[in-house]
């Protein structure tokens, strides 16, 4: 089976069990344009990339229109480039980044949907806002006329055991539900982005409605 057929078989197998209400984001870091095109042909319509420059190169190589999400840590000096490339930014994690994105979106005359990334595992090595600082960031984003807060994102534990991520998913869901029930102007808490190839079953059990999957679609990275 060649690479294209393998990707199609993986996507077909995945979509057989996929609930309609869950958005599947194909995580394409390190993948080739040919692999991404094969995933599109197999039915994937939303793609996520971790790096701005690599995403720009990839998008320029594919011949289809899809929805693109930024799913990696975004540096402020890449904000202007990011808002031109992506349809959603899933990794807003600081007031400083929010202010920079607001400035760049205002200059570009667009409103950018964003998710706040939660450091639900409280790990110093990970990006994301500390759970205790979420409200302050939400207040800042709500004052940005060119950012639309659509929900939350979290990574969960970096482990082969999905159950180790369950507490992280539970915590993020509780924050999501609290913010959603607040019904604050300037935000529409619709999206809870949690789970990857090794943990998406647990994430969906805990309320995720957007999942970022790479290995399950494309196979192990080279």
Mean pLDDT of the chain, nearest integer:
93
Give the tokens for residue 17. Answer: 């069990």
Inform me whether the pLDDT recorded for 117 exceeds 90: yes
The 10 Å CB-count burial string (b at 16+, else e) for 20-57 is eeebbbbbbbebeeebbbbbbebebebbbbbbbeebee
At 144-193, the pLDDT tens digits run 999 999 999 999 877 668 898 999 999 999 999 999 998 777 789 999 99
pLDDT of 187 = 85
Rounded to two decimals, the pTM is 0.95
Residue range 3-218, CATH number: 3.20.20.10
**60-110: pLDDT as tens digits:** 999 999 999 999 999 999 999 999 999 999 999 999 999 999 999 999 999
Counting residues of the chain whose pLDDT is more than 70, the rounded percentage is: 97
Domain ranges within the chain, ordered by starting residue: 3-218
């Amino acid at each position: 089976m060649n690479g294209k057929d393998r990707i199609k078989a993986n996507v077909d197998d995945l979509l057989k069990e996929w609930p309609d209400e869950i958005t599947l984001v194909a995580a394409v870091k390190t993948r080739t344009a040919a692999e991404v095109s094969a995933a599109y042909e197999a039915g994937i319509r939303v793609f996520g990339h971790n790096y701005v420059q690599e995403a720009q190169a990839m998008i320029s190589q594919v011949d289809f229109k899809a929805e693109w999400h930024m799913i990696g840590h975004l540096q402020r000096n890449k904000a202007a480039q990011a808002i031109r490339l992506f349809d959603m930014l899933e990794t807003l994690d600081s007031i400083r980044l929010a202010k920079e994105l607001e400035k760049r979106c205002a200059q570009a005359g667009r409103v950018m949907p964003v998710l706040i990334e939660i450091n639900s595992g409280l790990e110093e090595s990970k990006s994301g806002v500390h759970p205790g600082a979420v409200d302050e960031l939400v207040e800042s984003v709500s004052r940005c006329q060119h950012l639309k807060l659509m929900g939350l994102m979290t990574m969960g534990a970096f482990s082969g055991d999905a159950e180790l991520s369950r507490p992280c998913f539970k915590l993020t869901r509780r924050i999501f539900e609290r913010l959603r029930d607040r019904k604050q102007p300037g935000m529409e808490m619709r999206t809870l982005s949690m789970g990857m190839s090794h943990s998406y079953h647990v994430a969906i059990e805990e309320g995720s409605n957007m999942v970022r999957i790479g290995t399950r679609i494309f196979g192990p990275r080279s």
